[in-house]
Structure 1
Amino acid sequence: LVIATFNSMLLFFYARNLKVTPILGNLSVSYLTGSTFLFGGAVAGLVGLLANQVPFGLSFLASMSREIAKDIEDMEGDRQGGARTLPILAGERAAAALAGLFGLAGVALSLVAPFGRIYLLIVAVADLLLLLSVYKVVRKDAAGSQKAIKKGMAVALLAFLAAALFS
């Protein structure tokens, strides 16, 4: 109930103010994406919430990278519409570097997750896709970066599922 209430309030403020606020809008969407794991963990109480901190963190970090890459991709239209996104305010290069840092942080976190060997084998594929997305965003291919992140996130979900089934 606490998570649902917080998320509902965040969605209200996102629609009203945060959507057009650099970084805060991205943080909101990324938290909301990752909070799916918090909802799942909450079913088992505090133990479940704690167990799902790593999937939440990985989802949050990958989503931040993707959100910033989306902002880079949408720069032209956002400029015409008068939006003040991170790439418009700080520049495409700085935004790409930040997106890359979030992606690299996600890869690093995935490698220290305590989910076993099967998870590590599968998440290695997800990590390669995340690294590809970092490479693409830094090389000014925001659209390609987003596609790689989406694929990486799908593979990461398979890694989580395998870890849950085989642990």
Structure 2
Amino acid sequence: MSEQSPEAPADQTSEQPQEGGEQEPKTFDAEYVANLRKEAAKYRTEAKAAASELEKQRQASMSEADKAVAEAEARGRSAAATEYGTRLARSEFDALAGRRNAGFDTSAALEFVDLKKFLNEDGDVDSKAIKSAVERLVPEESTAASFDGGARTTAPKGPDMNSLLRKAAGRA
């Protein structure tokens, strides 16, 4: 690991059992977590550098035929990842557009959009880019109710003709 001690800082919560035998989860201060994340990021970058160096060494020791085969395999993987990545990007775009506006026709919006722009360098879908494109291209569904004159109920019953005549004659 690093020069730092792997022990948690002193401001952890205690590990005394509570009711039911469950323990309260440990909490760590923000500085300790930030240091752990920084250390993990350092190890990830070192691992990527080591993997790229190993690949360079592997390619340097290959014959010309092996290099040609490896290059063809890489192009095939890239083409397949791009093809299926664009299909996945279209599906994700359709799903997000359907949530934003159920009646929107996404085929019209995607007619002039290059779906490869929604893929990162590994061929994976960039969900944030798709979400921002949906927000720009798909209008929000109107939530305002149309005016339809209100609820339709029958008119309240008024007096019948007999009672009106009785009142007019003074007999009611």
Greater gyration radius: 2
User: What's the TM-score once normalised by structure 1's chain length?
Assistant: 0.31
User: What's the TM-score once normalised by structure 2's chain length?
Assistant: 0.31
- Indicate the structure whose relative CO is greater, using CA pairs within 8 Å and at least 6 residues apart: 1
Between structures 1 and 2, the one with greater helix share: 1
